[in-house]
Amino acid sequence: MSGKITPELVSHIGRLGRIELSDQQVVTLQRQLSDILMYVDKLKQLDTWNVEPMVYAVDIQNVLAEDIPGASLSADEALANAPQRDGDFFMVPKVLGDS
Amino acid sequence: MNEIINMSVLELRDAVIKRDMTATDAARAYLDAIDARNTSLNAYNEVFTEDALAQAGEIDNRLKAGEKVGPLAGVPVAVKDNICTVWGTTSCSSKMLEGFRSPYNATSVSRLREAGAVILGKTNMDEFAMGSSTETSFTGPARNPWDVERVPGGSSGGSAAALSGGLCAAALGSDTGGSVRQPAAFCGIVGMKPTYGRVSRFGLVTYGSSLDQIGPMTRDVRDCALLMNVIAGHDSRDATCVDSPVPDYLDAIDQPFDKLRIGLPREFFTEALNPEIRQAMGKAGEVYKSLGAELVDVSLPHSRIDTDENGALSSYAVACYYLIATAEASSNLARYDGVHFGHRTTRDCGDIVELYSASRAEGFGDEVKRRILLGTYALSSGYYDAYYLKALKVRRLIKNDFDRAFDNCDVLLCPTTPSTAFGLGEKVDDPLAMYLADIYTTSVNLAGVSAVSIPAGVSKTGLPIGMQLIGPVFGEQVVLRSARMFELASGTCRLRPPALGGKQQ
CATH number of the domain enclosing B58: 3.90.1300.10
Q: Which amino acid is at B490?
A: S
In a domain, B211, yes or no: yes
Q: What residue of B is the nearest CA neighbor of A3?
A: B383
Establish if B317 touches chain A: CB-CB under 8 angstroms.
no
Would you call B361 and A19 a contact, using CB atoms and an 8 Å cutoff?
yes
Is it the case that residue A63 has pLDDT exceeding 90? no
pLDDT of residue B493: 76
Mean pLDDT of chain B, nearest integer: 96
Residues 6+ away with beta carbon under 8 Å from B70? B114, B115, B116, B117, B230
- Provide the percentage of residues in chain B whose pLDDT is more than 70: 99
Whether A54 maps to a domain, the answer reads no
Structural domain boundaries, residue A19: 7-45
- Segment B260-277 shows an average pLDDT of 94
- Is B234 contained in some domain? yes
Catalytic residue annotation of B = 80, 155, 179
Domain presence at residue B85: yes
Residue B331 lies in a domain: no
Read off the pLDDT band of B494 (50, 70, 90).
confident
Residue B392 and residue A93: Cβ atoms within 8 Å? no
- In which band, very low, low, confident or very high, does the pLDDT at A62 lie, cut at 50, 70 and 90? confident
Please report the pLDDT score of residue A95 as a whole number. Answer: 78
pLDDT (tens digit per residue) in B64-104:
999 999 999 999 999 999 999 999 999 999 999 999 999 99
Domain-embedded: residue B235: yes
Residue A53 has its nearest CB partner, among B337, B340, B393, at B393
Find the mean pLDDT for residues B128-138.
Answer: 98
Q: Over the stretch B351-396, which tens digit does the pLDDT of each residue have?
A: 999 999 999 999 999 999 999 999 999 999 899 999 999 999 999 9
- Domain assignment present for residue A92? The answer is no
Residue B122 placed within a domain: yes
Which pLDDT score is estimated for B49? Answer: 98
CB contact under 8 A, A13 and B380: yes
Which residues of chain B neighbour A21 with C-beta distances below 8 Å? 361, 369
| pTM of the predicted model over 0.95 | yes
Number of structural domains found in chain A: 1
Q: Give the span between the Cα atoms of B29 and B448, in whole angstroms.
A: 38
B467 pLDDT higher than 80? yes
pLDDT over threshold 90, residue B346: yes
Interface residue B336 vs chain A (CB under 8 A): no
Per the structure, the count of domains in chain B is: 1
pLDDT of residue B499: 87
At A12, which CATH number? 1.10.20
Asked if the interface predicted TM-score (ipTM) of this complex is over 0.90, the answer is yes
Confidence of residue B229 (pLDDT cuts 50, 70, 90): very high
B395 to A53: CB separation less than 8 angstroms, yes or no: yes
* B217 within a domain of the structure (yes/no): yes
Q: Is B313 on the interface with A (CB under 8 A)?
A: no
d(CA A41, CA B396): 17
**Residues on chain B touching A60 (C-beta within 8 angstroms):** 197, 239-240
Phi, psi of B451 (to 5 degrees): -160, 155
Domain span at B250: 4-256+480-494
Sign for the pseudo-dihedral over CA of B277, B367, B34, B37: positive
Note the pLDDT of residue A99. Answer: 55
**Is residue A40 in a domain?**
yes
Q: Which of B390, B432, B397 is nearest to B267 (CA)?
A: B397
Angle between helices B275-290 and B476-490 (to 10 degrees): 90
Q: Is residue B360 part of a domain?
A: no
Residue of A nearest to B319 (CA): A40
Instruction: Could you list the beta-strand ranges (E) of B98-212.
Output: 118-123, 170-175, 190-193
- Chain B interface, best mutation among A2, A25, A43, by max B CB count within 10 A: A43
Is residue A63 domain-resident? no
Task: Please give the average per-residue pLDDT across B459-480, as a whole number.
Answer: 97
